[in-house]
Structure 1
């Protein structure tokens, strides 16, 4: 009887889950295990680059890669997971409701921004959450020059000083000057609820971010919380108002809502608790990976972050282990002890750190060169060549 591995999602973790599972099946020369990916489109959307321009082109096709590796792709949107019957319910490209059975399920559906806890975010704020919303922001920025010159037109407020907020904020001064002219009195403000810029990061990384902010003219408002957002800008909880036609929301990332359909422990961001094989607690036939997995990276108390760096490796281990369970071979315990960051700081350059303590190793042009290499090469899918793809899909192959 044929066995079926079903993977929900074609992002970084979903794509690598599929390739890794197909690799192990091929290695054992098994012909009776199918690997299927269900996602809205057969393409990788390069989310870490959504703060850049020409965002609609930041995709990579996956169908040729799936074809050469024997992975089946179904275009569809999943609505239900029926764990007790091992079924996935989805709407196909023709909006018809269909059902597929699985022997092993890999949940790789990613994350989204929660816009519900601050009034006006859903109606008046832009975001970089999905390629469609990032394209709307880009179109809006490109149209600002057609608006009457005013402080509101020239001011962009970035809500949240995490990595996404920082990279977007640092990109903006040069972009605004290009769009509005060198003489425009532009202003970029980061609203951060923490006590300092980059409060969650190492002192060394914070120092670099602040140096870049000062040289680029990016302002930080710390210990500040947003009360509401409207067409006129942002109102903070202390009553202060910032007039702006462009408010960008970057906080409140949550795991995809499908995680709630699995009766298992979840963290505050909705990520499912998994064991070292990335099996969801209490569900040996369900694996979670990428942004929907709360996974220990080592034995020191560190857990995977919602980053493509972790999603790629999580995907490789999840796919391998789902296939291993059907092949009756030992799984590979997920480990990712090396952790690095490479943060784009706009025209200033970038900063590269190593370790969970974020030791700064490179800055400015040297770090920028590395950043460009990572985002334009390393994180993209491999060539549509079976041997090449399978070599890289090995969970134990060097990554970072």
Structure 2
């Protein structure tokens, strides 16, 4: 096959999806070179920017490093700013480099649409980049801080009035974050929360117009219940430094206007001279090809294409599905197969109002409150797993739950409470000593010798073992002897081993009875040493739970053994990081897991 160069411009939802799909399609074909170019070294989760703007999470929670996404792929990630595209010469040009291509996918994103309203750019905030979100997050506390010492009531009212223009997804989600953040800021700056005014101003007659009426009504009710004023049928016609003016002549004094009234294709894509552009969106055919060049594809917010008489919505699903169509057709062209037309397959919509409430209509299922928020988190994790695997999903869980401050999640602060692991050190060492004594005791009894088989019967403290018989090779006989030992002690949680467990013993353990016995002994010694040294305590805790469950299933474990299980659960929470080897081991493993050592090796090369 002839060598082909595919270049993707833009690492948004569409660009990342296209790169992932191309890598999957051509991962075994070294003749296909895929390059992803973006001005930033990270992929931004645009749908979560409101969380940053509302002070719920830090900016790194909505950033996914591109090299983390593609570290195990053949995709070449380039951080550069493209200044122009030479379509005749088939190359992208930056200030210092040129990037030739055979196929080009443009997913350069979009930008806010201001609809010619004077003063918006100069006096308002947009929310369409990470920089925008950080600027809003820094501005909001500043207003509270100034208002706390302001004596002029008129100026104080302006400072404590926060207006979001637009009642679409971005506007409602942003206002939901501000409503939650408000209480904390009022406490911190000693401001009566009744003095804080939150307003959503919408030109149309309904909030969340793309949602069904029932879901939109629930969202509106929730916002009003939490002190948010909703002003409908009121286009903004002027934005001043200290106020906004509505079409009906009303003026709202405010020093904070967050503009979320719509987006348009970015100027870069609109100025490429690829044909007609509507609101910055370039016209494409049903195969996502530009009208001027067959080898140039548009994806995501950059394209304009009508389906059933309506332009494609600028949402994440559109971005990913147009990327899939573009990739399919590029692959078809390379392989000489038939191209396909785009056909949307939207699964629904969901919108969060703060960290504890959401409304959703996905797959025909309407939900609100807790379950809608769960659905939203699951959808986010599904997407993150697709682009970055379990590592990126774990980062999301840490940001959204385990490190979340002020209880701004559906789980409140239950998952984010922290405790000093130093208090677990005595307990960890105690557990380790008991396991070590148990293992050494078995060694003295001859468990490592091949001429005897011993069965464990739990004692009141740690499951001390006793010799119950010399077994030739039958695991079923071993189990019977275990039952007798358990009946003698009158402490077993189970009267008899479950049938499935007995069957497993007969099938897999009988031929290797002595090996199984040795592994138990060595496992107990290893657990003891690991707990005492504080090394790999999470894995040691899992091993402790496994052995205890095995004792219980063998009808040898009494109720006294249960505290071993629950104790191991407690020790999972980083107990080895205080006065233990995990203090050194875990940071090293984290760096290894994130590929930092590999990065250093590559840099040296």
Q: TM-score, normalised by structure 2?
A: 0.58
Deviation of the 1:353 alpha carbon: 0.9
- Residue in 2 that maps onto 1:288: 298
Distance 1:347 1:109, change over 3 A: closer
Which whole-Å CA distance do the structure 1 matches of 2:290 and 2:242 have between them?
Answer: 45
Give the 3-state SS of the residue equivalent to 1:140 in structure 2: helix
Deviation of the 1:130 alpha carbon: 0.4
Deviation track 1:144-192 (CA, whole Å, cap 9, x = no partner) reads: 3311242222211001111111111122212111112373222111111
Match of 2:82 among 78, 81, 102: 78
Give the 3-state SS of the residue equivalent to 2:350 in structure 1: strand
- Residue in 2 that maps onto 1:157: 163
- Residue in 1 that maps onto 2:276: 265
Deviation of the 1:6 alpha carbon: 0.9
Whether 2:192 is the aligned partner of 1:183: answer: yes
Match of 1:320 among 328, 333, 352: 328
Give the 3-state SS of the residue equivalent to 1:310 in structure 2: helix
- Residue in 1 that maps onto 2:147: 148
- Structure with more helix by fraction: 2
**RCO (CA 8 Å, sep 6+): is it higher in 1 or 2?**
1
Which whole-Å CA distance do the structure 1 matches of 2:72 and 2:294 have between them?
Answer: 29
Which whole-Å CA distance do the structure 1 matches of 2:322 and 2:64 have between them?
Answer: 20
- Residue in 2 that maps onto 1:375: 380
8 Å contact 1:8–1:14 — kept in the other structure? yes
Deviation of the 1:381 alpha carbon: 5.1
Unmatched tracts of structure 1, length 5 or more: 386-400
Q: Which runs of 4+ in 1 moved over 4 A?
A: 300-303
8 Å contact 2:17–2:387 — kept in the other structure? no
Match of 2:288 among 264, 278, 289: 278
- Residue in 2 that maps onto 1:397: none
Distance 1:89 1:235, change over 3 A: same
Which whole-Å CA distance do the structure 1 matches of 2:312 and 2:237 have between them?
Answer: 31
Which whole-Å CA distance do the structure 1 matches of 2:340 and 2:158 have between them?
Answer: 54
The structure number with the bigger radius of gyration is 2
Deviation of the 1:334 alpha carbon: 2.9
Whether 2:59 is the aligned partner of 1:56: answer: yes
Whether 2:315 is the aligned partner of 1:307: answer: yes
Deviation track 1:119-144 (CA, whole Å, cap 9, x = no partner) reads: 22222211211001110100111323
Which whole-Å CA distance do the structure 2 matches of 1:312 and 1:239 have between them?
Answer: 42
Q: TM-score, normalised by structure 1?
A: 0.86
8 Å contact 1:187–1:218 — kept in the other structure? yes
Match of 2:337 among 319, 329, 340: 329
8 Å contact 2:168–2:207 — kept in the other structure? no
- Residue in 1 that maps onto 2:203: 193
Deviation of the 1:380 alpha carbon: 5.8
Deviation of the 1:14 alpha carbon: 0.5
Deviation of the 1:213 alpha carbon: 2.1
8 Å contact 1:276–1:295 — kept in the other structure? yes
Which whole-Å CA distance do the structure 2 matches of 1:184 and 1:210 have between them?
Answer: 21
Which whole-Å CA distance do the structure 2 matches of 1:128 and 1:381 have between them?
Answer: 26
Which whole-Å CA distance do the structure 1 matches of 2:323 and 2:229 have between them?
Answer: 38
Which whole-Å CA distance do the structure 2 matches of 1:327 and 1:217 have between them?
Answer: 59
Distance 1:197 1:77, change over 3 A: same
8 Å contact 1:114–1:254 — kept in the other structure? yes
Deviation of the 1:67 alpha carbon: 3.5
Which whole-Å CA distance do the structure 2 matches of 1:40 and 1:56 have between them?
Answer: 17
1:94-243 counterparts in 2 under 5 A?
Answer: 96=96, 98-115=97-114, 117-149=116-148, 150-181=156-187, 183-185=192-194, 186-199=196-209, 201-243=211-253
Deviation of the 1:115 alpha carbon: 4.1
Which whole-Å CA distance do the structure 1 matches of 2:299 and 2:49 have between them?
Answer: 22
Deviation of the 1:304 alpha carbon: 3.1
Which whole-Å CA distance do the structure 1 matches of 2:314 and 2:141 have between them?
Answer: 30
Which whole-Å CA distance do the structure 1 matches of 2:238 and 2:365 have between them?
Answer: 36
Unmatched tracts of structure 2, length 5 or more: 149-155, 391-605
Give the 3-state SS of the residue equivalent to 1:280 in structure 2: coil
Deviation of the 1:197 alpha carbon: 3.0
Aligned-residue CA RMSD (Å): 2.3
Distance 1:360 1:209, change over 3 A: farther
How many residues align structurally?
372
Which whole-Å CA distance do the structure 2 matches of 1:310 and 1:199 have between them?
Answer: 18
8 Å contact 1:14–1:108 — kept in the other structure? yes
Which whole-Å CA distance do the structure 1 matches of 2:170 and 2:69 have between them?
Answer: 29
Which whole-Å CA distance do the structure 1 matches of 2:116 and 2:262 have between them?
Answer: 9
Which whole-Å CA distance do the structure 1 matches of 2:282 and 2:20 have between them?
Answer: 22
